[in-house]
Amino acid sequence: MIQHILHITHVSKHFGGNVAVSDVSFSVDEKEIFGLIGPNGAGKTTLFNCMTGFFPVTSGDIIFDSKKINTLRPDQICRLGMVRTWQRVKPLGSLTVLENVMIGAFSITNATGEANIMAMEQLHAVGLSDYATKPAGSLPIGLKKKLELARVLASRPKMLLLDEICGGLNHTETDSILAIIRAVRNSGTTIVFIEHDMKAVTSICDRIVVLNSGEKLAEGTPEEITTNPAVIAAYLGGGHHA
Ligand SMILES: Nc1ncnc2c1ncn2[C@@H]1O[C@H](COP(=O)(O)OP(=O)(O)OP(=O)(O)O)[C@@H](O)[C@H]1O
Ligand SMILES: [Mg+2]
């Protein structure tokens, strides 16, 4: 039986007269890698902000792990097991790589020793063990993205929301991030993946939702999405994406 871990039901988000997300509904299965794509300004990041409690929804409901979460605070949602990365990664540059990941671990433990061990495990998982004592600000962008992954993984999430984790990376760096994401999913974590790089999206996602001007334009497998005429017209045919 398919187990849904997330239900987005008729979610809208207005900023004054600007409708950023408009009546969007979809469900994500447990252990799925689920893609959220669409043109710049389509509402992808706004939906993440609503899911993680940074913005209240204007209407609709968000159900995670059988609980309605759209009235909860970000820290409460994080403790329920849903965590997100940021489109612009901003590690605390003067802290070490290890300390940045320990901040993630502190969301589930108060013990420094335990947080240290959990953080080192995640640095190992993303291949950053050798950088543990370096200032986070000294890392190049490709490694900052891995640090961002280690930070969120340290809270041992049930669901990981990735906002353009491959943005600004070259092919080798992207492949290395995709390998980590696959391993995370194989260990039992569900993933929602916002990304403009269609090669990355189609190679890793089980299913995809396309947003356009805040509305759901299509939902389906990578093959269904890449051959959908409405998606090609609104997004894939366009050429230039950030
Ligand atoms: N805090 C905010 N206040 C007002 N308007 C906002 C805010 N955040 C987003 N918006 C608006 O909501 C719409 C959707 O923006 P959003 O950032 O969600 O798009 P996106 O799909 O993530 O785009 P991109 O691919 O460029 O990251 C845009 O019109 C944007 O200007
Ligand atoms: Mg965005």
Of 156, 184, 200, the last residue of a domain is 156
Instruction: Answer yes or no: do 127 and 176 share one domain.
Output: no
Tokens of 93: 């540059």
Instruction: Answer yes or no: do 48 and 102 share one domain.
Output: no
C-alpha 51 to ligand 1 mean position (Å): 14
Q: How confident is the model at residue 241 (pLDDT cuts 50, 70, 90)?
A: low
Which residue is closest in CA terms to ligand 1's atom 5?
15
Instruction: Answer yes or no: do 146 and 163 share one domain.
Output: no
Tokens of 100: 């940045």
Place of tokens 């998606």: 231
Of 98, 126, 156, the last residue of a domain is 156
Instruction: Answer yes or no: do 100 and 188 share one domain.
Output: no
Q: Average per-residue pLDDT in the chain?
A: 93
Q: Identify which of 32, 153, 140 has the alpha carbon closest to the alpha carbon of residue 85.
A: 153
Which residue is closest in CA terms to ligand 1's atom 28?
41
Instruction: Answer yes or no: do 97 and 37 share one domain.
Output: no
Of 156, 174, 200, the last residue of a domain is 156
One-letter amino acid identity for 113? G
C-alpha 130 to ligand 2 mean position (Å): 31
Ligand 1 atom, smallest distance to 43 CA: 18
Q: How far apart are CA 184 and CA 189, in angstroms?
A: 6
Q: Could you read off the pLDDT of 163-206 as tens digits, one per residue?
A: 999 999 999 999 999 999 999 999 999 999 999 999 999 999 99
How confident is the model at residue 240, as a pLDDT? 46
Look up the pTM and report it.
Answer: 0.93
Has residue 2 got a pLDDT over 90? Answer: no
Q: What is the CATH number of the domain that holds 15?
A: 3.40.50.300
Instruction: Answer yes or no: do 37 and 114 share one domain.
Output: no
Instruction: Answer yes or no: do 220 and 131 share one domain.
Output: no
Instruction: Answer yes or no: do 34 and 127 share one domain.
Output: no
Which residue is closest in CA terms to ligand 1's atom 9?
46
What string of H, E and C letters represents the secondary structure of the chain?
A: CCCEEEEEEEEEEEECCEEEEEEEEEEEECCCEEEEECCCCCCHHHHHHHHCCCCCCCEEEEEECCEECCCCCHHHHHHHCEEECCCCCCCCCCCEHHHHHHHHHCCCCCCHHHHHHHHHHHHHHHCCHHHCCCEHHHCCHHHHHHHHHHHHHCCCCCEEEEECCCCCCCHHHHHHHHHHHHHHHHCCCEEEEECCCHHHHHHHCCEEEEEECCEEEEEECHHHHHCCHHHHHHHHCCCCCC
Residue 241 burial class via C-beta count within 10 angstroms: exposed 0-12, middle 13-18, buried 19 and up:
middle
Ligand 1 atom, smallest distance to 44 CA: 21
Which residue is closest in CA terms to ligand 1's atom 3?
15
Residue whose CB lies within 8 A of the most ligand 1 atoms, among 21, 22, 46, 194, for a mutation test? 46
Q: Could you read off the pLDDT of 138-155 as tens digits, one per residue?
A: 999 999 999 999 999 999
C-alpha 195 to ligand 2 mean position (Å): 9
Count of structural domains within the chain: 2
Instruction: Answer yes or no: do 52 and 163 share one domain.
Output: yes
Residue 223 phi/psi, 5-degree rounding, is -65, -40
Pocket, ligand 1, Cβ cutoff 6 A = 15, 18, 20, 38, 40-46, 87, 242
Ligand 1 atom, smallest distance to 211 CA: 21
Instruction: Answer yes or no: do 211 and 167 share one domain.
Output: yes
Instruction: Answer yes or no: do 151 and 162 share one domain.
Output: no
Residue 231, domain extent: 1-81+158-242
Q: Could you read off the pLDDT of 52-108 as tens digits, one per residue?
A: 999 999 999 999 999 999 999 999 999 999 999 987 777 787 899 999 999 988 888
Instruction: Answer yes or no: do 60 and 171 share one domain.
Output: yes
